[in-house]
Structure 1
Amino acid sequence: VCIASTMFWAGFEQAGSSFNLFARDLTDRMVGDFEIPTTWFQSLNSLFLVALSPFFAALWINLSKRMINPSYGFKSAIGLIIMATGFIVMFFASQAAASGLKVAPYWLVAVYFIHTVGELCLSPVALSAVSKLSPKRMAGQLMGVFVLTYAMGNVIAGLLAGGLDPENPQAMPELYWTIFVFGVSVGAVVFVLALFTRKWEKLAPDDGEDEHPGAIIDANEPVGKP
């Protein structure tokens, strides 16, 4: 789960680096006489998060009522793979931009939507998994390790985008394709591991049992990254 979280934020946090450069330099932000500020695109994730959270909360509850309970590992793998597919959109968008033309803003809107869907599949579920599955005596330490995945993901995101030259948009498709392949590959590995670790999750107490006093994270809580 922590590995999936690290890789997820490494891709997701391109929003503050390469996506921001893409919005500034390669996106047609004119609507009539008004130019959309680059920073407005950063708000899309929050808007989608608020709008979609109730639907995902209802989804997990309804699946549970139907006795369909995907494992934590499966949900984390799906979230990571969904995030990675967003880079397919950016791959084609950056290819169009590499031809010298600015692209429409709906490319970025689509990516932020896809990434928010991935975040809702992974982030609250992973937080719940660490809270529930950690050995009681190590709950605090492992929660700290999980929170560290945010920092590690940001470091990797910076390293990936750090070598990108805004004046050389021809390099963007390769970057986004690399992130896509890497994200899907790690997601596939997490998915395979989830097939074996599901039986460990069944050994954990039910959600109603107070295994970790003070840990009040619910598996269906519709929140994103704290």
Structure 2
Amino acid sequence: GLMNIYTMEKTDRLIGDWTVPASWFQSINAMFIIFFGTTVALFWANRKLKGKVSTSLFKMIIGLIIMGVGFFFMTGATAQYEASGSSAMYWLVFAYLFHTIGELCLSPVALSFVTKLAPVKYASIMMGIYFAMTGFGSKLAGLLGEWSSSLGEYTIFTGIAVTSVGLGLLVLLLRPRLEALTHGVEDEETAVV
């Protein structure tokens, strides 16, 4: 995607005389998942032990906002590139860090949320729609990469960041009404545990 191209063409990957291979940056997400997966799970479990209930919707909202913040780091990378002709690696590392933590808050919870809310006879269809939308998102990401040549990376990264954070905050405001529509699915889970 666009971040891989950005890593290859516009990031200063030199450490001394050695150039960090661009492909290594694709492993950062997996590395952060290993390092922070348990930490994120413990964070939510600790909140629950303290009596602060974090619903699935709340976790997804927080994940979306955190991922949006990650794109602000890419905006910073683009600004540095436009000013000096290359951007530092730390911009990408921080972007991947925030994307990974956001993904850990959102992705597993979203999949579980779909199965909880879907009527039993439609569960398979709803899961299929969930994965189809993931595919649609990948297609949209490819289109955004194409549009970056005409709109500019700064505009694309800023647009993604503002949209993600803005939608996250909007859904946060609408959260009480949206949680009422779940018909107590979260309450049933809490009672079982």
TM-score (norm 2): 0.90
2:108 matched to which residue of 1? Answer: 124
Structure 1 residue 74 and structure 2 residue 58: aligned?
Answer: yes
Structure 1 residue 198 and structure 2 residue 179: aligned?
Answer: yes
Contact 1:72–1:125 (CA<8 Å) still a contact in 2? yes
Listed as ranges, the matches of 1:92-103 within 5 Å are 92-103=76-87
Deviation string 1:147-201 (CA, Å, 9 cap, x unpaired) is 1221011011111111223xx8x92111111111211222223223322122344
Deviation string 1:79-127 (CA, Å, 9 cap, x unpaired) is 1111111111111210110124212211100100010010011001111
Q: Which has the higher contact order (CA 8 A, sep 6+)?
A: 1
Structure 2 residue corresponding to 1:180, chosen from 123, 148, 161: 161
Instruction: Pick closer, same or farther for the CA change 1:131–1:31 going to 2, 3 Å.
Output: same
Partners of 1:123 and 1:74 lie apart in 2 by 13
**Larger fraction in helix:** 2
Structure 2 residue corresponding to 1:88, chosen from 64, 72, 77: 72
TM-score (norm 1): 0.78
Query: Tell me, which stretches of 5 or more residues in structure 1 are unaligned?
Result: 1-16, 210-226
Displacement after TM superposition at 1:18 (Å): 1.3
Partners of 1:18 and 1:47 lie apart in 2 by 20
SS of corresponding position for 2:102 = helix
Instruction: Pick closer, same or farther for the CA change 1:135–1:37 going to 2, 3 Å.
Output: same
Displacement after TM superposition at 1:34 (Å): 1.5
Partners of 1:198 and 1:163 lie apart in 2 by 36
Contact 1:75–1:121 (CA<8 Å) still a contact in 2? yes
Instruction: Pick closer, same or farther for the CA change 1:36–1:62 going to 2, 3 Å.
Output: same
One-letter amino acid of the counterpart of residue 119, structure 2: P
Partners of 1:38 and 1:159 lie apart in 2 by 22
Instruction: Pick closer, same or farther for the CA change 1:58–1:202 going to 2, 3 Å.
Output: farther
Partners of 1:190 and 1:141 lie apart in 2 by 25
Structure 2 residue corresponding to 1:49, chosen from 33, 45, 50: 33
Displacement after TM superposition at 1:202 (Å): 5.5
Structure 1 residue 20 and structure 2 residue 4: aligned?
Answer: yes
% identity of equivalent residues: 34
Contact 1:71–1:201 (CA<8 Å) still a contact in 2? no
Instruction: Pick closer, same or farther for the CA change 1:207–1:195 going to 2, 3 Å.
Output: closer
Listed as ranges, the matches of 1:133-152 within 5 Å are 133-152=117-136
Alignment coverage as a number of residue pairs: 190
SS of corresponding position for 1:102 = coil
